[in-house]
Amino acid sequence: MKILPNFPIVDSALPLPAQNQQFIDALTSRRSPKIVDLQNAIAPSAEELPDILKVAVRVPDHGKAVPWRFIAIDGENRGILGRKLAQILVARGDKMDAAQLALEQTRFERAPLVLAIVHSPRAHPKATIWEQELSAGALGFSLMLACHGFGYSANWLSEWPIYDNEASAIIGAKPHEKIAGLFYIGKTQIAPTERPRPNLDDIFEYWNDK
Ligand SMILES: Cc1cc2nc3c(=O)[nH]c(=O)nc-3n(C[C@H](O)[C@H](O)[C@H](O)COP(=O)(O)O)c2cc1C
């Protein structure tokens, strides 16, 4: 399916950065919701999603390798995929009671839309695999910011499926690829609460020739 954004692609000179208090406030107010708070959230519409993605993909990417792609899990496919992944655990003999099994089966139904970012490494003359992985991570956060900008919350979860080759393959990763993250997305009226943030004194120093 072709998805197209509702705004033009800018390929000419761009405006210079200028202080933008609204933008700073928006960055400072972003926070992940609790996953349970996305249960009854609303998904981006078919019109909004390409716009969100168009903003999200504006990430640094050495050599324009484009070492990432998205897989969207929505609607009834959330339940179908959840049941397939739960079946992996059942087949392996994992001891789960009925409640645990139900949680596994409904894992993707915790939000109306789940986006998998797949890290798809390329053989590239300049961009190392490490740089490509970092670009995939940057895309993860860029996606969260883009969601925030469009009024959606996003929660970045790995959990067991991204570390499991069989589950990752069912989600859609090819053998050479890795799932960078599963992003649970939705519009909710439940305000997130802040969490402690790093103390800059602990993580910052000027280099000096000691
Ligand atoms: C790569 C990555 C993977 C994560 N995986 C999980 C996870 O599997 N389970 C979890 O509870 N939190 C996970 N988190 C943390 C949540 O995303 C957490 O809500 C987030 O760090 C909160 O920070 P924020 O409010 O600044 O967005 C992960 C975070 C990152 C960056």
Neighbours of 7 (CB within 10 A): 10
- pLDDT digit string, tens, across residues 173-192: 999 999 999 999 999 999 99
What's the CA-to-centroid distance between 92 and ligand 1, angstroms?
27
For residue 171, count CB atoms less than 10 angstroms from its CB and return exposed for 0-12, middle for 13-18, buried for 19 or more: buried
Q: How would residue 4 be classed by pLDDT, with cut points 50, 70 and 90?
A: confident
How confident is the model over 142-158, as a mean pLDDT?
98
Q: Tell me which of 180 and 12 has the higher pLDDT.
A: 180
Q: Looking at per-residue confidence, does 84 or 15 come out higher?
A: 84
- Contacts of 82-86 with C-beta under 8 Å, sequence gap 24+, read 82/106, 82/107, 82/108, 82/109, 84/170, 85/161, 85/167, 85/170, 85/171
Asked if the structure places residue 80 within a domain, the reply is no
Lowest mean pLDDT among 7-16, 68-77, 100-109, 158-167: 7-16
Query: 57 is in which domain, residue-wise?
Result: 34-73+110-190
Atom of ligand 1 nearest to the CA of 180: 1
3-state SS class at 68: strand
Residue 158: CB atoms within 10 Å: 11
With bands split at pLDDT 50, 70 and 90, how would you rate the model's confidence at 155?
A: very high
Give pLDDT, residue 11.
Answer: 74
Residue nearest to atom 27 of ligand 1 (CA): 32
**Would you say residue 43 lies in a domain?**
yes
- Domain assignment of residue 161, yes or no: yes
How far apart, in whole angstroms, are the C-alpha atoms of residue 58 and residue 146? 10
Structural domain contains residue 137: yes
pLDDT for residue 170 is more than 80: yes
CA separation, residue 47 to residues 43, 52, 62, 207 (Å): 11, 9, 30, 47
* Dihedral sign of CA atoms 161, 165, 166, 170 in order: positive
Ligand 1: residues whose CB is within 6 Å? 31-32, 155-159, 181, 195
If we measure between CA atoms, which residue out of 81, 48, 2 comes closest to residue 149?
48
| Ligand 1 centroid, distance to 156 Cα (angstroms) | 5
pLDDT at position 105 over 80: yes
Torsion sign, CA atoms 133, 135, 139, 140: positive
The Cβ of residue 42 has, within 10 Å, a number of other Cβ atoms equal to: 15
Please tell me the residue having the least CA distance from ligand 1 atom 4. Answer: 157
Residue 186's pLDDT is what?
98
Helices H, strands E: what count in the chain? 8, 4
Within a domain: 90: no
Rounded Cα distance between 126 and 120, Å, is 16
Residues across the chain: 210
Write down the pTM of the prediction.
0.96
Residue 7's pLDDT band (boundaries 50, 70, 90)? confident
Residues of the chain with pLDDT > 70, as a percent, come to 100
| CA of residue 183 to ligand 1 center, whole Å | 10
Atom of ligand 1 nearest to the CA of 159: 8
Please give the mean pLDDT across all residues of the chain: 96
What is d(CA 153, CA 155) in angstroms, rounded to the nearest whole number? 7
Ligand 1 atom index nearest CA of 156: 17
146 within domain boundaries? yes
CATH of the domain at 135: 3.40.109.10
Total structural domains in the chain?
Answer: 1
Residue 167 domain-assigned (yes or no): yes
Whether residue 134 lies inside any domain: the answer is yes
